[in-house]
Amino acid sequence: MLMIYIIGFVLTLALALVLTPLVKKFAFLIGAVDKPNARKVHTTIMPRLGGLGIFAAVMVALFAVLPFIPDEYLSTRDVNFVKAFMVGGTLTMLLGALDDRFQLNAKLKFVVQIVTACIVVFGFDIRIEFANIPFHSYSSVESWIAIPFTILWIVGVTNAINLIDGLDGLAAGVSAIAIGTIAVMSFIIGNEIIAVICLLLLGSIIGFLYFNFHPAKIFMGDSGALFLGFSLALLSLLGFKQVAIVSFLTPLILIGVPLSDTMFAIVRRWMQKKPIFSPDKGHLHHCLRELGFSHRQTVLIIYGIAAFFGILAVIQSSAALYSANWVTFVVICIMAFFLQIGAEVIGLIGKTKRPLLNFLMRLRLKVTAERGSK
């Protein structure tokens, strides 16, 4: 399997490097471009549709390596998973590509995403079967819970990457870190098929990043953001159901950057009495830019945050193997503390909303005063 991992990664990397410039020309040819406006960072017309290159590289490489994977690594569930990934990924990428060109209605996109998720669940029998909820033992999940939860997860995570697609290389890099984390976990538990798909995705994303990192020559567009989000949805949750070691928290930690950014955006808009779905410039990357960080520095900082979440996810997943629930509790506390501190320092909730920092400052002053009185 080692040679398959290496060949697959190198093949998708090379394909992405070759295909992305061709996709760039194709995007200009059909008018799939992104025009600058008041909310966007770029100042010139940029080609979108970069996700087509990522998708094509992955699928070509997957068809190339599948015949060489030994039969003992391909159970019926593995085959169904690969088929679900290919069919669902194709439908999702096509939806994103059409949106890159025609700016589809949000309701239409939502309906198509639900249909795609239903195809994955009912057509290929992909759903959550077992869960390891912290401080509880492994338990099977009833179908009436598993089916809607799986559909909700696929649709939700499919759209998650779009939320952070605001700077050159940001969404692609964060996706690569999350998928790389899943690859590490798949090696730990011995899930070779998931590892292969992760490495194929990693190779294509890295090849695409050569053209997408600041200053970008092409954007991934919805074709890339939705495809990577869909891939992350399956890999982060469903890929591990076969060995029944999924912790309820691990997938949430994996998408910690877009998830926390969305959560703070909802709180911020609620406190400011604005519509929850109204766009603003209060997202993580906007706040970091306002603090004076350059475009590249902002992206690299968010990469670091994503890597931090990835490390926590690996620790949590490894702890789940040995039912070490105290590790889960520590991970939750660390994550919650740094999320709140980071949000207050950066200003994700608001410039003056700093309850935890104010509490720590008052505590420090109190301790200092008590030491002085002695």
Mean pLDDT, contiguous 10-residue spans, the chain (374 residues): 93 98 96 76 82 97 93 84 96 96 92 96 83 53 79 88 84 92 86 93 97 93 95 75 48 74 74 68 74 88 89 77 66 79 73 75 78 68
DSSP conformational letter for 191 = -
> Which residues make beta-bridge pairs with 247?
132
Nearest CA to 207 out of 21, 336, 368, 1 is that of: 21
Amino acid identity of 288?
A: L
d(CA 131, CA 239): 13
At 239 the pLDDT is 46
d(CA 217, CA 194): 31
At 4 the pLDDT is 94
Look at the pTM and tell me if it is higher than 0.75. Answer: yes
Cβ-count burial 343-353 (b if 16+ within 10 Å, e if not): bbebbbbeeee
d(CA 173, CA 196): 19
Count CB neighbours of 341 within 10 A: 14
Cβ-count burial 141-153 (b if 16+ within 10 Å, e if not): beeeebbeebbeb
Q: Could you tell me the CA-to-CA distances from 365 to 338, 359, 360, 368 in Å, in that order? A: 21, 10, 9, 5
d(CA 208, CA 14): 10
Q: Could you tell me the CA-to-CA distances from 372 to 268, 365, 369 in Å, in that order? A: 39, 10, 5
Residue 348: φ, ψ to 5°: -70, -30
Question: Residue 74: is it exposed, middle or buried by C-beta count within 10 angstroms (0-12/13-18/19+)?
Answer: middle
At 24 the pLDDT is 96
The beta strand positions in 125-198, using DSSP E, are: 130-131, 139-140
d(CA 22, CA 267): 42
Query: Do residues 151 and 169 touch, judged by C-beta distance below 8 A?
Result: no
Domain ranges, residue 29: 2-373
Nearest CA to 119 out of 283, 230, 222 is that of: 230
> Which residues make beta-bridge pairs with 340?
none
Query: Do residues 85 and 200 touch, judged by C-beta distance below 8 A?
Result: no
Query: Do residues 285 and 291 touch, judged by C-beta distance below 8 A?
Result: no
Helices 192-212 and 2-30, interaxial angle, to 10°?
A: 40
Q: What is the DSSP string of 90-149?
A: HHHHHHHHHHHHH---HHHHHHHHHHHHHIIIIIS-----EEB-TTS--EE--HHHHHHH
Query: Do residues 225 and 171 touch, judged by C-beta distance below 8 A?
Result: yes
Nearest CA to 217 out of 85, 25, 12, 4 is that of: 25
Q: What angle do CA 243, 248, 249 make, to 5 degrees?
A: 120
d(CA 72, CA 353): 56
DSSP conformational letter for 36 = -
At 276 the pLDDT is 63
At 34 the pLDDT is 87
Q: How many domains does the chain have?
A: 1
Q: What is the 3-state secondary structure (H, E, C) of 316-349?
A: HHHHHHCCCHHHHHHHHHHHHHHHHHHHHHHCCC
At 173 the pLDDT is 94
d(CA 302, CA 285): 8
d(CA 185, CA 195): 9
